[in-house]
Amino acid sequence: MSDQLRFDGRVAIVTGAGGNPSLGRAHAMLLAERGARVVVNDLGVGPDGRSVARANAELVAQEIRDAGGEAIANTDSVADFESAQRIVDTAISTWGRVDILINNAGVVFLATFEEIDPSDIELVTSVHLLGTIWMCKAVWPHMREAGYGRILNTASGAALGQQYTTIYGAAKGGIISLTFALAVEAAPHGILVNSLAPAAATRALTYSNVEGDPFVADVFRERPPELVAPTVAYLVHEDCTASGKCFDVGSGPVPGRTSELYYMRTKGYINEDGTIEAVAANIDTALDRTDPETPVRGKAPFQPRPYRPR
């Protein structure tokens, strides 16, 4: 098709792309199929974070090469800035540029807040939230210098609050907020930044739920990662104009649905009395979601003092 959206000449980094099945692999394979040169990144420990379900970046990169595409594997961690820089350096040293960053790497532990171990709290937040920050920080100067870039950060509907995902959801909520703010800073430089809340059959789902869980079986039957990848590919294409959005892809009653997940604010009420009792009497009005408004984002109304790093 002459009107295909292609990525010829573009260089993409996809983190956490070594699993099979996995979202990262599906993203990397589709981008490569459409002409992108891809850095397939994966530390190799798998979604459990303990090397029980190991991933392999080289196998996915080889799949791409066997299909006629261009790909190189990278096994650095996203969880610290220096290693994140090495991931970006892989793209720069191999192909001289980086146009696309898909932050997909992650680990997940389904546990109550009371039972999850502090070391796993640190692992989840360092990979998901800090890993996304470090990768964006590492790729930023290259995209800014080029005057072009597409960044897609993987969030989750768990950010809205879900049982057994307190820490995971907190990290994903941070990613959504990071995306909103980065999009504002990125706009003058030709860089678009969005986030993704995907629902798909992945090894993370298998290893975080009990064997035989009917929910997992339903997801694997109806929602392969390949249903999410087309929306991802569009969001990192040069034709895309959306930025500062969170796209919910694959959830809901119909597999393959793409929608926007966004924040709203109720009309609320004005506490003219200035008392606790007035709040109590009007709390239902404050929570009334009739005719909500969209909060405004953009340029800060204040003037910060000059930042001085330590």
- Of 148, 168, 263, 269, catalytic: 168
Report CA 216 to chain centroid distance, whole Å. 21
Amino acid 66 reads D
Q: How many CB atoms lie within 10 A of CB 159?
A: 22
CB 251 within 8 A of CB 197: yes
CA angle 242, 244, 249 (to 5 degrees): 70
Q: Is 183 helix (H, G, I), strand (E, B) or coil?
A: helix
End-to-end CA, the chain: 54
The closest alpha carbon to 257, from 198, 215, 173, 176, belongs to 198
Continuous segment of H or E residues that includes residue 308: none
Helix, strand, coil abundance in the chain, percent, nearest 5: 40, 15, 45
CA 24 vs CA 211, 256, 287: distances in Å: 23, 17, 39
Q: Is 168 a catalytic residue?
A: yes
Report CA 307 to chain centroid distance, whole Å. 28
| Residues annotated as part of the active site | 168
